Structure 1
Amino acid sequence: MEQYLVMFKLREESYGGSEEEAAFMLSDQIIPSLERLSEIESDNGVMGGFIEGQRSGAFIFSVKDYEELDKTLASLPIMNVYDVDVAPLQTISSALDRDRNIVGEVKKAAGL
């Protein structure tokens, strides 16, 4: 499984407006997306949440590949009102292995 950091931020043009627009956005986009994220969370496919007092959220998705992440994000109604930044994550053990290999190569090159 691959992991991706996904940052959601509500587009400025998406908030404001009338109470009717806010109610529509909540009932048509936000709540269905939260319900879907809750299902994914139950399957251990995502962890994280929305940042209190802000219009943004940070999540770590565990998926087979980027294509699966893309399909998952595209299925969320909030994609109509949120901007999303995605960054692949390297596991701690993978980073440790990489750095140990670099140290070994540097020592070998230095004749140590």
Structure 2
Amino acid sequence: MEKQPELMPGKERAWLLQVTANECRNLHRRLCRRSTVSLDEALAVAAPEYTPLLTHVMKQRPTDRAVLYLFYYEGFSTEEIGQMLHTSQSAVTTRLHRARKNLKATLEQEGYYETGL
């Protein structure tokens, strides 16, 4: 619809219906590829070797937890996360940096992460 092609008179309706059908198909494909579950459900079904890490991720601040989960577990890009959280891509990158730093400090205190290795 943004391109506004040259249409023959009387064909506007058919073009609009086709554009609508194509967008519906695209939306359906995106939804089928990205199944969503709550963070608590993801934690419950996680592989046992990831459970300690997920537990520590869940203990982070809500904004940090959200960007960590969306980036590493769901595989979204920083741009997509920014759109979902209604913030800029640079803000998402900053939150990821801060969240990684906090998670590293937490894991070091718990003995899961050793420096210098």
Give the TM-score category using the shorter length.
under 0.3
More strand by share: 1
Structure with more relative contact order (C-alpha pairs < 8 Å, separation 6 or more): 1
TM-score (norm 1): 0.27
Return the TM-score normalized by structure 2.
0.27
Bigger Cα Rg:
2
